[in-house]
Structure 1
Amino acid sequence: MSTSEARGRVRAFVTVSLDGYVTGPDDHAGQGLGVGGERLHHWVMGGPWTYDSPREPGAGMTDEDRAYFDEMLAGTGAALCGRGMYDSAGAWGGRNPFQAPLVVLTHRTADQPDPSAGFLMVDGFDAALAAARRTAGDGAVVIGGGAD
C-alpha cells in the first residue's frame, strides 16, 4: 500500500451484545437486524426504532451516549461496510445517512447507485479499504458491521 493510501486511522465500529451477538435471530435482507436486533442500537438511535419507522441516527441520545458517539466518529472521512449490512438496512432508503461517504464491499458492483446517493460499490476488501482511505483523505476510515 502506498503512503498516500495509509493516511488516517482505521476504526472498527459495531455494537455487540454481552453474549457476543451483533444482530437478532433471522437477520437478512428484508428483515433488518433480525428479530429484535434493533435493541442493540437503541443507544445510537435514542431508543426503540424499527426499519418501518422514521429514524435518525443520534436522535434522542443521552448526553453521555452523544459525547461517546461524537468522540468515536470525530475525524471520520469515510466509512466501509459489507453488502450484508447495506442490504439489511434496505440501502438506508437509497441515501447514505452518515456524515461521510460510504464504501460498500460487494461482488455486485453493477448495482452502483447514482454517486449523489453517497455510496461507492467496490469488489474485494483490499480495493474497498484503499477506496475508503482515498476518499477519507487525512480522515479516519470507520468499518461498520461485518461480524458473523
Structure 2
Amino acid sequence: MTKVTAQLSVSVDGFYAGPQFDGDGDWIDSAEAAGFFRITRWATEAAAWRERQGFAGGERNANSDVMAETFEAAGAYVMGRRMADGGEVPWGEEPPFRAPVFVVTHRPRETLLRGGGTSFTYVTDGVASAVEQARAVAGGKNVAVAGGGGLVRQILKAGLLDELELHVVPVVLGTGLRLLDADLDLGDKEAIELTPTRVIPTPQVTHIRYVVDGRAPLVLDDRGRGGGPTATTN
C-alpha cells in the first residue's frame, strides 16, 4: 500500500540547517549551508548515497543500508520549489530520484524531463494535489516528501503524512531552520501523536521511524493521585 513518508536529518535541538540564507553571496559559504552539511554528513559518507549520485567510495554500514532502503521504497517524490531550484544544476541530466517528482510551487513551469526516469512536474494548486498526483504514479511504492522542512510541515499539518523518519545527529546547532515549529498551527491543548516503530543507533546518527497517528487533545492525568502507592499531595 502506498504511504506518504518523509525523512529528514536534524540536530539534537531540532534544526535541519543553519540560519536561513539571505541571498547575499554564495549559499555554499552561508551559515545555512554549514549547518546543513554537518547534519547530512552521515548520508554523504554512505556508499548507497554516493552510488546513487554516481560517486565512488563511501562506507558500507547501517547508515548506508538505511539510505538504500529509502531510495528503494520511493515510487514518486514531492518537493518544495526552493529545493528543486537549488538542485537543478548540481543534479545534472540524471538526478538521483529516478522517479517522477512533483514540485509544490506558486510559479508555473513546464514539466522538466531528465534522464534515468526522473521528471519534475510543477504543481500550483497545493500540497494535497501534489501528493495525489504522486500517489497516482507511485506504482504501489511510497510517496516520499523530499523536502525541505517547510514542505514537510505543510504535509504534516494537512494530515497527509503517514510516516516520519528522523535521522538525529549528535550535534547542537543552537539556531537555524527548525523542522517542527509553530507553522503546524496546533491548539494550546493539542498535539500530533507519533508511534515509534524502529530505532537504529549508530555513532554518527540515530534513525527513528514514526507512524503519524494524527492530532489529539492534550489530556491531564492524575499524577498518581488515584490512591495507589505512588499517590502524592503535591
The 1:120/1:95 distance shift into structure 2, 3 A limit, reads farther
Counterpart in 2 of 1:3? none
Contact 2:110 2:121 in 1 (8 A): no
Instruction: Determine which structure has more spread, i.e. the larger CA radius of gyration.
Output: 2
Counterpart in 2 of 1:31? 27
The residue identity in structure 1 corresponding to 2:145 is I
Per-residue Cα deviation, 1:36-55 (whole angstroms, up to 9, x for no partner): 122221111117xxxxxxx9
Structure having the higher helix fraction is 1
Counterpart in 2 of 1:118? 119
Q: TM-score, length-normalised on structure 1? A: 0.73
Counterpart in 2 of 1:146? 148
Matched, 1:10 2:15: no
Counterpart in 1 of 2:77? 79
Contact 2:93 2:114 in 1 (8 A): no
Q: Structure 1 segments of 4 or more deviating over 4 A? A: none
Specify which of 130, 133, 148 is matched with residue 131 of structure 1.
Answer: 133
Contact 1:81 1:143 in 2 (8 A): yes
Structure 1 position 57, deviation (Å): 7.6
Contact 1:122 1:128 in 2 (8 A): yes
Counterpart in 2 of 1:42? 41
Partner of 1:137, secondary structure, is coil
Structure having the higher strand fraction is 2
The residue identity in structure 2 corresponding to 1:35 is A
The 1:81/1:119 distance shift into structure 2, 3 A limit, reads same
The 1:67/1:115 distance shift into structure 2, 3 A limit, reads closer
The unaligned stretches of length 5 or more in structure 1 are 1-6, 48-54
The residue identity in structure 2 corresponding to 1:119 is F
After superposition, the CA RMSD in angstroms is 2.9
Q: TM-score, length-normalised on structure 2? A: 0.49
The 1:115/1:35 distance shift into structure 2, 3 A limit, reads closer
Specify which of 17, 20, 28 is matched with residue 14 of structure 2.
Answer: 20
Q: Report the identity percentage.
A: 30
Q: Which deviates the most, 116-125 or 77-86?
A: 116-125
Matched, 1:56 2:57: no
Partner of 2:145, secondary structure, is strand
Counterpart in 2 of 1:50? none
More relative contact order, 1 or 2 (CA 8 Å, 6+ apart):
1
The 1:83/1:61 distance shift into structure 2, 3 A limit, reads farther
Structure 1 position 81, deviation (Å): 0.9
